[in-house]
Each structure stands twice: as C-alpha cells, then as structure tokens.
Amino acid sequence: MNKHVLVTGGAGYIGSHTALHLVESGYDVVVLDNLYSGHRWATPDGAEFYQGNIHDQDLVGEIIRKCNIDSVIHFAGHIVVPESVGNPAKYYQNNVIGSLNLINACIANNVSQFVFSSSAAVYGIPEFCPVSENVDPQPINPYGATKLMTEWALRDFSAATRPFNYIALRYFNVAGAHIGGGLGQATPEATHLIKVACQTACGTRPHLSIFGDDYPTADGSCIRDYIHVDDLAAAHLDALLYLSNGGESTVLNCGYGHGFSVKQVIDCVKTVSNVDFEVKIEPRRAGDAPELIADNKKIKRVLNWQPQHNDLATICRSAYLWEKKLHAGKII
C-alpha cells in the first residue's frame, strides 16, 4: 500500500482533518498550503509542511521527488459561491488552472493516485432527490462549474495516462469539528450554516439569517444533507486504499443520504448550546435548491465507507464546542 501522501490545502478545514486522520493511520504526510484560508497551527504534528502554491509546478515537482510522494489529495480550492459569481476569474484561475498545473506535475513525476475534493454544487438544482452520480451535472455558479471542469480534466487525463487514476468526492454539506476536540473550522468569513449558527450562539454574530422560509418543504426552509468532517476525512483514506488496491477512476457522493431543514439545524444548535439567539427571515438567495440530499449507495459499495457520526446533534455539538474555544481565544 502506498503511504507517502501530498495534501494540498492541508492547513484548511477539511484538509487539516484529513491530514490528521492520515498521520494517525500511519501515512507519511506532506502538506502544501499557501495559508490563504488555512492556518499553520492546523497542520498535524508528524506532517511535513511547505508553504507554497499549486500553480508552482517546479515546487510541486520538487516536493514529490524529495518526499517520494505516490498519492495526492487535492483540497486547495476557493469555495465561496457568492464570491465565485462576483469574481469568476479568481475561481477559474485557482480551481481550474491551478488544478491542471498540479495534475501535470503529478503525471510528470509518476504520481498515479489522485483524490479530488469536489462538490455537490456540480449538480446545481437537481430535479429529484436523493441525487445520484448518474445525474447529468448542471452547475449554476462558477464554483460548481470549476469543480466540474476539474473532474472532466481528471477523467481525460486518466483515460490518456495510465496508470493515473483518481476519485472525485462530491461533498454535500460538511460540518462539525474533530471528535477529539483539537481541530475544527477556523475559515475566515465562513458562510456555512452550522458554523454561522455556532458563531451566533457564542455571540460573535448579532443574529442568524434564514434566507427564505417559503420553499416547498415541511417548514418552508431549505433541506440539506450534513456530513461530519471526520466521516468525510475517513472517506479520503478509504479512497486511497481503493486506489492503491488497483481501483478504477470514479466519482462518488459524500453524504448521509438524508437531510435536515435550516430551521431544524438552528433548533439543534440552540439545544446543544443552550442559547436562544435571534433569527431573522430574509429574502431567498438566487440559486438555492429547496432540497439537496446525496444518494450514497455507490460510495458505500465501492469504498465500503462506514460513517461513524451520522447524527445531527453530534455534528452541531462538536462544532459548538470548537467555536467556544475559538471565541475564548483558546486556539493557537
């Protein structure tokens, strides 16, 4: 089994959790991060760190050769949907061109296994839920489009370059913090619901906004599939094992297969925090699907992925306890 892994964006939220799981599982881990939204302290002990950019093919190639890298997990991308609409050039430059530079460096240096951090945003507003990998992707913003373009590039490179194989993991709504308590989301200006709700419970924000309460759902608010970050990190290790055992390139949804509404999530955060914070109803945001839930049968079959934290209260509690540490200044 290949054990030398380069994690791009490994000082960010999901990347740092995955790097920690890799170190704890005995991998030799190298993190490459430009610290745009990541933090040096989030890199786990035992991982080697390089500050740099995926656009720098010479640096990437040097790291691969020096550290005997045989697998890459690629997280280094911009992820804010509204920003992608307002500044698409930033997203195409980093998410597409940066990824192409990284893929080229991998192939030039005989790295044959690649795990890509993709997104359910490639689906846009699906006609049916749960949504499976067989659905024709229809992204509705540059963020989703750039993720899909990178998937296409990986598909074409894999077909043309043997034995280069990849797995693209399409994340649904990632949330929570490491169950061990020492790691969590510290992304500047985060927009994810559970993170924002926990910030509001801690007093960092004056109120929480619900964007639309007139959707065709039971309580009028949007429904999403929330996945604990530790379970998502574990999926990346399962993906590496699958590829190292000769698995073929594929695309997989990462979600639990069921959802909760915005109002249900807010109520859960209020319960675990014991804080009754203010909630305001705002107009709908353009492009929000009423419901987005993963069909996760394929990832369970292909990777034998077995999530351990499939519980909304667990997700919200871990996120809140982490946010309390941040709010109190107890993080390095």
**Catalytic site residues?**
143
Contact status, residue 281 vs residue 266, Cβ threshold 8 Å = no
Q: Which two tokens stand for residue 248?
A: 């073929």
> Using CA atoms, how far apart are residues 269 and 78, in angstroms rounded to an integer?
27
Q: Where are the alpha helices (DSSP H) in 164-288?
A: 193-201, 229-244, 262-273
Furthest CA-CA distance within the chain: 56
Write the single-letter amino acid at 126: P
Question: Per-residue b/e over 185-198, b at no fewer than 16 CB within 10 Å?
Answer: bbbeebebbbbbbb
Q: Which two tokens stand for residue 20?
A: 């920690």
3-state class (DSSP) for residue 166: strand
> Using CA atoms, how far apart are residues 280 and 259, in angstroms rounded to an integer?
22
Angle between the N-to-C axes of helices 312-327 and 262-273, in degrees from 0 to 180, rounded to the nearest 10: 60
The rounded radius of gyration (Å) of the Cα atoms in the chain is 19
Instruction: Using the Cα atoms of residue 265, residue 266, residue 268 and residue 269 in order, give the sign of their dihedral.
Output: positive
